[in-house]
Chain A
Amino acid sequence: MNQPAASSPLPSSAPPFWRDAGKRALVFQALALVIVGGLGYYLFANTQANLERQSIATGFGFLKKEASFEISESLISYSAADTYARALLVGVLNTLKVSFIGIILTTILGTIIGIARLSSNWLVSRLAASFIELMQNIPVLLQLFFWYAIFYEAFPAPRQALNPVKGLFLCNRGIIFAIPAAHPAYPAMGWVLLAVLVGGWLINRWGRRRQELTGKSFPAFRITLLAAILLPFLTWLFYGAPAAMNMPEMRGFNFRGGMTISPEFSALLLGLVLYTSAFVAEIVRAGIQSISRGQIEAAMALGLRPGQVLQLVILPQALRVIIPPLTSQMLNLTKNSSLAVAIGYTDFVAVANTTINQTGQAIEGVAMIMVVYLVFSLSTSLFMNWYNKRMALVER
């Protein structure tokens, strides 16, 4: 259309829109949108009308009512007198807790096993291979039942609890250990550690830029590590080295005091981590093997140390292959955590199920479950995509 008038002898007129592929596509898309929207509205209106006809309560008003059921594990204070909304929040946090810890442990364990799988040591690589085959090929629900049964069958009752070290007890009620009694020193140590980490990140950035400009390297990592150990310790000394401990002791039916990690949480975490790390190990192995041997040999010929070869040559390229499938494994782990109901860990699904039972509002409850998992998955996915973009090979 932008051609000069001279080159088109015919008077230029736009073709009718049904001949224009672009506009036609727009029309079809709009049509599809209307149909999908209409269908959605029909379903919604129909459900609403049916519920009304059968005089079934609808809406989210129940969230403000008293939940009146107890939850055994909670990161925030909760009692049966709190609202359904708070109970559901407890569930969300419990799901986040197990997913977050699970993802970190899975990544670490998966990487170790993936590297072990490539080891030139026959025994190590065979052990890693059998671990991967075993874990990958047993359904995760069975694994959860297995670990849970191990916890309650193999460990003794609380009164006969194993006590390997002072302040640590193992029994079928969980792992109970002493924690330092509350003291202002501990929050302060946390803040100091945070400050060290931020500082370390800045130093690392500065060091890398200097290396690019001058070629001189700077041991940022070692300095940060040293500071991360030393500075919180100095803070602790500064506060007068508080040493009081909150010791667990057997009273009545159970241990009081200290901190308890429940068998449900441990079994769920263990099952999910072992199962998912087998997949992660294969992904890591594939990523490392995708780099041609010649590059590694070339890097060694240049005089790089093995650590540097890994850090400067292998990882930047391997991560590009590793990250996308790793993301989907992390999403799997998050979604699989909903199997918690089977072994009694009070995750979001468990709390939502109880809510549905007590209020009878299944549609709202299931909708909330879907939205929560969608948000979890989308945010994990967003973060990993951002990381993937950062790690992508930048051509110069």
Chain B
Amino acid sequence: MKFTKTLWLVIALCLLMCTVAEAGKDLDAVRKKGFIQAGVNGGVFGFSMPDAKGVWRGLDVDTARAVAAAIFGDASKVKFTPLTAQQRFTALQSGEIDILTRNTTRTLTRETQLGLNFVSVNYYDGQGFMVLKKLGVKSAKDLDGATVCVLPGTTTEQNAADFFRNHKMKWNPVVIESTTELSKAFFAGRCDVLTSDSSQLAGIRAVAPNPDDYTILPEIISKEPLAPAVRHGDDQFRDIVDFSVLAMINAEELGITSKNVDEMLKSKNPKIQRFLGVLPGNGKALGLDEKWAYNIVKQVGNYGEVFERNVGEHTSLGLKRGLNALWTNGGLMYSPPFK
């Protein structure tokens, strides 16, 4: 009798434990699988969107490619899952994706309550307002009584509410789930103002019927450090993702580009030698091939190249580097030493 009871207890415990043991290390799982599954937005031009030929393009996409280049030595070993704002955290928590590179703001609540680890920021953004030029609005503080189109599912709704509350202004939000429907309603005049991260505003303005009719107000009402995220539980994997982002920034600091990286291998500068694995050490420390950083720069490019290619001044977004310039140029992009 006692034996049967114990047996049942063991079975019951096993049922509970099995699921705990099964997770394993994320890095091992990724290596075994042979590719990285990355969660992206899928609908934001310049950050993640398939082009006319179905090839994924964007800053977030290139960040995921850099991680693949570091782990597999091949930037193409990555598959993309487009996620809505509501699906993204669940997808990462449940293991459906390995990394989340989906213009996601790092916040205290998300870091602590969702079981996520954010890594270094790959884009510093901030929430802004876009209005029709002919309304003659010069500042966001003139928006008392306005109807505001808001994209849900982000920190945007909260920021906007905080801003209007803080300035004791009345407002009327219109919240529509899909970006396309929301921008259509805004362009048709359903709202006076459209609010979102300013990079996204630029993207929406680029597809407006008459982009020149709209202007983005000078106020930035929030800090939106957009960063890739991984699950809790595998610190080595987290370090690799973190340093893959930082490697692109460090490469720009050292003046290494995808074009000159082969010449740079012959450089006498010990910083460059260490970075590119000519002087070994960094790769072993991360549990990667010594050429991991070389692969990132060669196949994806340094941060400046990635920025200019996807969102820079020669693209239809036409974003300036601003906060995303290197610290040496007055921006916030700063990499710890690679030694």
* A positions within 8 Å CB-CB of B: 42, 45-46, 49-51, 53-57, 68-72, 79-81, 145, 148-149, 152-153, 157, 172-173, 251-254, 256, 263-264, 341-344, 346, 350, 353-354, 356-362
Contacts and interface: CB of A to CB of B under 8 A. Distances in A.
A253 B158 contact: no
B178 to A, nearest CB: 7
Contacts of B184: 149
B177 interface: yes
Contact of A254 (B90, B145, B153, B155): B145
A148 B4 CA distance: 65
Contact of B145 (A69, A253, A342): A253
Given A49-B19, A253-B147, A346-B175, A152 B181 contact: no
Q: Considering the complex of A and B, which 5 residue pairs feature the smallest CB-CB distances, nearest first?
A: A54-B115, A344-B176, A57-B113, A252-B145, A80-B161
Contacts of B189: 152, 157, 172
Contacts, number: 130
Contacts of B185: 148, 152, 344
Nearest to A342: B177
Interface in B148-190: 152-155, 157-158, 160-162, 164-165, 171-178, 181-182, 184-185, 188-190
A254 B86 CA distance: 32
State the main secondary structure of chain B at its contact with A.
mixed
Contacts of A153: 188
26 contacts: A46-B15, A49-B19, A49-B20, A54-B233, A55-B112, A55-B115, A56-B115, A68-B162, A69-B161, A70-B161, A71-B173, A157-B189, A251-B145, A253-B192, A343-B181, A344-B176, A344-B181, A350-B177, A353-B177, A357-B86, A358-B155, A358-B158, A360-B109, A360-B114, A362-B86, A362-B89
Nearest to B17: A49
Contacts of A357: 85-86, 152-154
B157 A70 contact: yes
Contact of A256 (B23, B90, B145): B145
Given A68-B158, A254-B145, A344-B174, 14 more contacts: A49-B20, A50-B19, A70-B171, A70-B173, A148-B185, A254-B192, A341-B177, A344-B176, A350-B152, A354-B153, A356-B86, A357-B86, A359-B113, A360-B110
A66 to B, nearest CB: 10
B217 to A, nearest CB: 14
A56 B93 contact: yes
A56 B155 CA distance: 19
A357 to B, nearest CB: 5
Contacts of B171: 70
B262 interface: no
A14 B153 CA distance: 66
B232 interface: yes
A353 B174 contact: no
Interface in B97-154: 109-110, 112-115, 143-147, 152-154
A43 to B, nearest CB: 11
B326 to A, nearest CB: 33
A46 B175 contact: no
Contacts of B1: none
Given A46-B19, A256-B145, A344 B154 contact: no
Interface of B: 15-16, 19-20, 23, 85-86, 89-90, 93, 109-110, 112-115, 143-147, 152-155, 157-158, 160-162, 164-165, 171-178, 181-182, 184-185, 188-190, 192, 231-233
B158 A254 contact: no
A55 B175 contact: no
A210 B164 CA distance: 65
Contacts of A54: 93, 115, 231-233
Nearest to B233: A54
A37 to B, nearest CB: 14
A263 B90 contact: no
A353 B23 CA distance: 28
A358 to B, nearest CB: 6
Contact of A354 (B93, B152, B182, B232): B152
Contact of B114 (A56, A172, A254, A342): A56
Contacts of A50: 19-20
Central interface residue in A79, A251, A256, A360, by most chain B CB within 10 Å:
A360
Contacts of A71: 173
Given A254-B145, A360-B114, A45 B192 contact: no
Contacts of B155: 358
A361 B115 CA distance: 11
Contacts of B154: 357
B144 A362 contact: no
Contacts of B16: 45-46, 49
A362 B113 CA distance: 12
Nearest to A54: B115
Contacts of B158: 68-69, 358
A72 B162 contact: no
B89 to A, nearest CB: 6
A342 B19 contact: no
B91 to A, nearest CB: 11
A343 B185 CA distance: 9
Given A49-B16, A56-B115, A173 B147 contact: yes
Contacts of A69: 157-158, 161
Nearest to B113: A57
Contacts of B15: 42, 46
Contacts of A263: 190
Contacts of A342: 176-178, 181
Contacts of A57: 113-114
B111 to A, nearest CB: 10
A70 B152 contact: no
Contacts of B175: 72, 344, 346, 350, 354
